[in-house]
Structure 1
Amino acid sequence: MASIDTDIVSARPQMTAELMARTGLDEEILTRLVHRFYEKVRGDAVLGPIFGSRISDWEPHLEKMVA
């Protein structure tokens, strides 16, 4: 299983670059998308408490989601 994880990690930069080139997605757009998504999730009556009970420090989580 470790080799699969290593393969995925090593392939990720190229896959990301190809996806960004095809879609026009860039880091700024992705950051806005992720932050807006979680803003809506956190404000949702059902989803907000679920995410809130598992994520206490949002900034590191958001950084990880756009990395």
Structure 2
Amino acid sequence: MKITVMDDDNTANVNALIAGVRQFNVEHMGPETSQPLSVVAHDKSGKLIAGIAGCTIYDNFLRIPISIRS
């Protein structure tokens, strides 16, 4: 085995890694059902000041105990 640390965007390697993870997930968790997801912060005037955006995977990554749900 040869491990290489790269500081460039090698699209072929990245795409192969993503494809491998997705295939593993499908085999163990079923078809992917991703949805857009974002978390944003606005100042008092409503101006967007920060945020993060992405997608969910399998829609089952958030746990909220029933005792604190309203």
Q: TM-score with structure 1 length normalisation?
A: 0.37
Which one scores higher on RCO, CA 8 angstroms, separation ≥ 6?
1
Q: TM-score with structure 2 length normalisation?
A: 0.36
Report which of the two has the higher share of helix: 1
Give the greater-gyration-radius structure (CA).
2
Report which of the two has the higher share of strand: 2
